[in-house]
């Protein structure tokens, strides 16, 4: 009986552990592979040193990316509207701590990536090394 109990506990622990997989699937935004390093000592990126500030970085992802200082870390999201086919109106604009999709006027929070539609913002990984941020997919 003790062996069965021990086996049950070990089996439960294996099922309870989550892998560190990163779900980044969105049918409207293709997956692009990229890695960028952002030096926050440079004037263009110095706002990222302060909580609740965001910057737009063009040329990566589908329509560029927004990088946001949450106060406890950094988030990076694709600037393409997550619930629209990529088009001329699908580049989101910054509005405080939110981004707005001009196609449908939906707002998405840069703290969570959530909005009022089916898909949240497409998120990318961020690593911090001193004053350098590495954003990648």
pLDDT in tens, 2-48: 665 555 555 554 555 544 455 678 899 999 999 999 999 999 999 99
pLDDT band at 117 (very low <50, low <70, confident <90, very high): confident
CA distances from 14 to 1, 2, 3, 11, 18 (A): 20, 19, 17, 5, 9
pLDDT at residue 9 in the model: 58
> For 84-96, how does the pLDDT look when each residue is reduced to its tens digit (9 = 90+)?
999 999 999 999 9
Domain locations in the chain as residue ranges: 44-137
| Cα angle value 18/10/17 (rounded, 5°) | 5
Give CATH superfamily name and number for 44-137. Answer: Rieske [2Fe-2S] iron-sulphur domain (2.102.10.10)
CB 123 within 8 A of CB 76: yes
């Amino acid at each position: 009986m003790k062996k069965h109990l021990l086996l049950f506990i070990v089996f439960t622990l294996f099922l309870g552990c989550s892998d560190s997989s990163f779900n980044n699937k969105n049918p409207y935004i293709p997956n692009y592979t990229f890695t960028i390093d952002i030096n926050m000592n440079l004037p263009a990126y110095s706002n990222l040193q302060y909580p609740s500030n965001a910057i737009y970085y063009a040329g990566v992802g589908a329509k560029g990316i927004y990088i946001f200082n949450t106060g406890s870390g950094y988030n990076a999201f694709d600037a393409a509207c997550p619930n629209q086919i990529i088009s001329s109106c699908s580049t989101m604009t910054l509005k405080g701590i939110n981004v707005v999709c001009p196609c449908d006027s939906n707002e998405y929070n840069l703290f969570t990536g959530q909005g009022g539609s089916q898909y949240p913002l497409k998120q990318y990984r961020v690593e911090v090394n001193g004053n350098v941020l590495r954003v990648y997919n």
